A and B are shown apart, each in its own frame.
Chain A
Amino acid sequence: MRTLATPAVGATSAAARVGPGGASPARVDPARVEPARVDGALLELDKIAVTYRSRGRPPVQAVIGATLSLAPGEIVGLVGESGCGKSTLGRAALGLVALSGGTVRYEGRDVPALGWRARPDWLRSLQLVFQDPYASLNPRRRVGRQIADAIALGTGCRRPDGDSGAEVVAALERVGLTSHVATRFPHEFSGGQCQRIAIARVLASEPRCIVADEPISSLDVSAQAQVANLLAGVAAESGLGLLFVSHDLSVVRKIADRTVVMYLGRVVEEGPTAQLWSAPAHPYTRSLIAAVPEPGVTGLLPAEIAGDVPDPARPPPGCRFHPRCPLAVERCRVDEPPETARPGGAAPSGEPARSGRVRCWRSEEVVELGKVGGASRASSPDGLPDGLAGATQ
């Protein structure tokens, strides 16, 4: 076995789970996956920094000081433009990249940077779902066989009862597929079906936490809805934590309990999804929301953000967003804003007290602007009411 020696489990009840050598009962009921009973966070990323160094190029600080936590049963959406470091942070959570700072804790233990090496048993319940479902499945193995492999992995070493036995069928049914799928090969399925198979395989290993990196980005609208609903359903029903990386804000809005917004390696805003949408506290969050075209609202052009994302190897001084920020003032060009509590704004009643964090000198004013509405999109290309932007430039 490739099992590594693991330290004592401490306060978590992970030890209560069936260990690799223990006799595990036949697990045909997918709903029986026990949620980890960790107090508070399941996955904790604390001040993560990742720097990529390649020869002949300046080092790229892909992630700087990013803090994020995930509780059992919680869905956290991670959004931001291409290159802002979403995948890097997701990979850091899984111990796939070397950190230049910070710590990752999973169920209370430090996650080592293992790269693609074998994972110790206690880390096997932390799993990854990729964007390209075909790439994550073996094209030459039948679907049932791959799911049986995953079940074997989840239970330590025991093979389930055949490649189309009750356990495999239960795993397929959990994602809305039937036993007929088991004897087929991945290429016989559409992208959406294949992603469900990939998810069935991941779920078969009984994860308690999943990092999904753009799991629906390569799918059609209808398949996106299928897969997003599936993941959200699994999180709710089996209490697993889901870090959902996506550049599709509208889907994140639908399924995420909390949303984390990244810009150029920094977490710029984090908070309950509903609050972030009803009153974003960071100008960048506002711009992102205003850029989403709304189907059904015809003739309303989405708002654009001026300029391009700067070269991450040479981030601007001060606030990283200042060259594109319509609200930037002198201070923004010089001092980087610290992370502060998100101003309350117009929080919908009944929201939890924890209302998140933001990195912006002017977040109080931004939050006052409230919801990104149709009017602001239509009136100005950057989605800001004319008064505020004009007054400060």
Chain B
Amino acid sequence: MSPDLLAIEELTVRLRTRRGIRRAVDGVSFAVGSGEIVGLAGESGSGKTLTALALLGLLPGGARVSGRVMFEGRDLVGLDRRRLRELRGREIALVSQDPMTALHPLLRIDVQLTEHVRAHLGLSKAEAEARAVELLAAVRIPGPAAALGAYPHQFSGGMRQRIAIAVALACAPKLLVADEPTTALDVTVQAGILRLLDNLRHEHGFSVLIITHDLGVLSAVADRLVVLYGGRVVESGTTGEVLASPRHPYTRGLMRALPGAVGAGQAMTPIAGSPPTLDSMPGGCHFHPRCDWAVESCFTVVPARREIGGGRTLACDVDPLRREGPETAAADRDGEPGLEPELQR
């Protein structure tokens, strides 16, 4: 196997909240190989975006990072701002949920695409323009030459996201970090963007870290999955295996909550309660208050993440596959989609 392009090791991000300092990302480790698409999954507040910002060196002011972010063998944590900015422009690019954060609303597309290319690759004006047309064609913008003279607002949401991807790809980065790139888009437009990402990585050979709470999206494009809960990795492995036989109770819960997971007419099964906030992070396994399989040790002991074969990891010592189904545990609670214990009916 080729060495990993990106290896995140024990990444921890501490933030100051009103009630003190909290770990929003807590010892996260995973790797992205070259040409690979890795998906970072998890509910809102699980630390997906902060993980991405940490590796790009874009964390908010008060945040403190520890651990290592090895990119091609160099540790990006602690790298000075100027070097990081260079790296971000050239080797690591970000595509975010709102394409308008990547595109300047008042600048023509050609300016946004060519300035970038000229600044980083030192191309002439004509060369840069040729490259810009090439990029727009690559992201399937019809009439790329004409599109160069237009402004962002003249395009639909899906086209704007494609242009934002073109801007991100302008300097031929080795890693594309896409944070919820399709969440704001229609399924029809989303389908186009997913196909585009998949095609482009085959054509250009870059790696993608795609962040989304949508397991459907991940199953379509991601080679491997990393599932986050409360800032920790609870499960990881190849997409096919994790989704076909999820081992962590949280991943299993996510799958059962999906409308596609069960037959029509059958109700979706939500996970009891709701995700914790930084200030209400439970002890032990972060998931224990919502877990149907929790045993006493889950309340106090943080389960170690261990290898379970086939390149998979799991941070839970209670194997749902080897115990009675959740029906037994759920029965005591009346099957009620629950809340924090004191709010539970």
Contact = CB atoms under 8 A, between A and B. Distances in A.
B343 A295 contact: no
B260 A295 contact: yes
A337 interface: no
Contacts of A303: 191
Nearest to A250: B259
B274 interface: yes
Interface in A254-313: 254, 273-274, 277, 287-288, 290-305, 308-309
Given A191-B44, A222-B271, A225-B270, A298 B239 contact: yes
Given A253-B259, A301-B195, A293 B339 contact: no
A222 B253 contact: yes
Contacts of A191: 44
Contact of B157 (A82, A220, A297): A82
Contacts of B218: 295
B345 interface: yes
A277 B313 CA distance: 37
A221 B213 contact: yes
Interface stretch (B106-114, B130-138, B182-190): B182-190
B165 to A, nearest CB: 15
Given A190-B275, A222-B253, A222-B254, A293 B188 contact: no
Contacts of B266: 254
Interface stretch (A37-45, A170-178, A204-212): A170-178
Contacts of A232: 267
B328 interface: no
B259 A251 contact: yes
Interface in B224-271: 239-240, 243-244, 253-255, 257-261, 264-271
Nearest to B271: A222
A300 B220 contact: yes
A44 B186 CA distance: 28
A251 B337 CA distance: 17
A177 B345 contact: yes
Contacts of A73: none
Interface residues of B, number: 56
Interface string B141-176: 000000000000000111100000000000000000
A193 interface: yes
Contacts of A67: none
B336 interface: yes
Nearest to A382: B191
Nearest to B253: A222
Interface string A233-261: 00000000000000111110110000000
A224 B257 contact: yes
B213 A295 contact: no
A298 B237 CA distance: 13
A229 interface: yes
B198 interface: yes
B219 A225 contact: no
A381 interface: yes
Given A176-B345, A225-B268, A288 B187 contact: yes
Nearest to B259: A250
A292 B219 CA distance: 11
B276 to A, nearest CB: 9
> By CB atoms of chain B within 10 A, which of A82, A224, A230, A295 has the most?
A295
B156 A292 contact: no
Interface of A: 81-82, 173, 176-178, 180-181, 190-193, 220-226, 228-230, 232, 247-251, 253-254, 273-274, 277, 287-288, 290-305, 308-309, 381
Interface of B: 43-44, 156-159, 186-192, 194-195, 198, 213-221, 239-240, 243-244, 253-255, 257-261, 264-271, 274-275, 277, 336-339, 342-345
List of 7 A-B pairs having minimum Cβ-Cβ separation, nearest first: A293-B216, A225-B268, A225-B270, A302-B191, A304-B192, A304-B191, A250-B259
